[in-house]
Amino acid sequence: MVRGEQDIGNEPVDRAIERIRNVYRSWNRETLVSQMRRDWDTAFSSCTVPLSCKHVSGSGVDAEWLIPEGAPADSAILYFHGGGFRVGSVVSHRDLAARIAHTSGCRALSINYRLAPEHRFPASLEDALAAYRWVLDQGYNPSDVAFAGDSAGGNLALTAMLSLRDRAIPLPASAALMSPWTDLTASGASYESRAALDPIHQRKMILALARDYLGDEGDPYDPLASPIFADLGGLPPLLIQVGDRETVLDDSTLLAERARSAGVDVELQIWDGMFHVFQMFAELAETRRAIDSLSDFLCKHLRIRTRRRPQ
């Protein structure tokens, strides 16, 4: 278990949290989902590293290649963005995916999967699987592909691998998960124990997003919706990063515990003083260390021998 330095009350962290709150404050019950998505994209649309971006359509799934200079042609990261299955896109998460690509020296394909409430479960999962099949159709070997994702994207990385396993389709080499949302029932004790510490997410909000994603008839205990309830045996090595201020902390700690019990190689990193998907904020020292560690993990399992060190 790796922990960062204690940063509650740290000014850079407080400023990062305020950026998120400023977006949330602009929303009310009358705000259209389309406006929420535009606001989220606008708030997080910058890109802080040099690389080339190439728009593609992978088996009908809108996507974007993020290619660092000198990236090997035979390795790829498939990236799934977060946003509670309601917001988020390749635009809002371009910087995060790009920094992972740049630091690892590996090209990344970030996808725009379908979002709720227009497209409920399992639409996003179907898009994740289609994108992976498309990557393999481009000539990549499964052992040269890694998954990465944050929050709801971490959920997709896991459920896509579970679906592939159950269909006897070769799995990627590894998966790196940032604050993965694995329990749509929000049953973890951290929803109570971290409620006063979490500056962003509370259980009521999490359950509303789950209902939005699943619909009235959806089952939050379905392992392809809540992978915390799945048989996790047979998955490739996992890296899980999570902040210790998160109400969804137990979504990570219980996942790690159950995956290890199923024989999966798991590294769990809990970062002191950090909030949900803090890796989106390039200005934080903890973010740079977290991305550095995540890139080391990906490079190890993709057998990439050289990679960039953060500035």
- For 267-288, the pLDDT digits (tens) are 999 999 999 999 999 999 999 9
Domains of the chain are: 11-24+36-302 (3.40.50.1820)
pTM: 0.95
Q: What is the mean pLDDT of residues 146-156?
A: 98
- For 75-94, the pLDDT digits (tens) are 999 999 999 999 999 999 99
Q: At 230, phi and psi to the nearest 5?
A: -90, 160
User: Exactly one of 81, 93, 201, 276 is catalytic; which is it?
Assistant: 276
Q: Give residue 305's pLDDT band: very low, low, confident or very high (50, 70, 90).
A: confident
- For 55-80, the pLDDT digits (tens) are 999 899 999 999 999 999 999 999 99
> Which of 3-7, 21-25, 299-303 shows the lowest mean pLDDT across its residues?
3-7
The answer to whether 310 touches 282, Cβ cutoff 8 Å, is no
User: Which residues, in sequence order, are bridge partners of residue 150?
Assistant: 178
CA distance 3 to 268: 10
Lookup: tokens for 236: 């490739």
Positive or negative CA dihedral for 193, 196, 198, 201?
A: positive
User: What is the radius of gyration, based on Cα positions, of the chain?
Assistant: 18
Q: Give residue 307's pLDDT band: very low, low, confident or very high (50, 70, 90).
A: low
Closest CA relative to residue 275, chosen from 293, 259, 287: 287
Q: What is the mean pLDDT of residues 12-38?
A: 94
Does residue 193 register a pLDDT over 90?
yes
What does the DSSP 8-state code read for residue 170? P
Active site residue 246: yes
- For 89-125, the pLDDT digits (tens) are 999 999 999 999 999 999 999 999 999 999 999 999 9
Whole-number percent of the chain with pLDDT over 70: 95
CA distance 305 to 298: 11
Does residue 4 register a pLDDT over 50?
no
- Half-sphere exposure of residue 144, counting CA atoms within 13 Å on the CB side? 17
Does residue 1 register a pLDDT over 60?
no
Does residue 306 register a pLDDT over 80?
no
CB-neighbour burial class of residue 8 (10 A; exposed 0-12, middle 13-18, buried 19+): middle
At 310 the pLDDT is 47
**Mean of per-residue pLDDT scores for the chain:** 94
At 9 the pLDDT is 60
CA distance 74 to 169: 19
User: Exactly one of 104, 110, 124, 151 is catalytic; which is it?
Assistant: 151
Active site residue 151: yes
User: Exactly one of 190, 246, 286, 293 is catalytic; which is it?
Assistant: 246
Active site residue 11: no
Does residue 247 register a pLDDT over 90?
yes
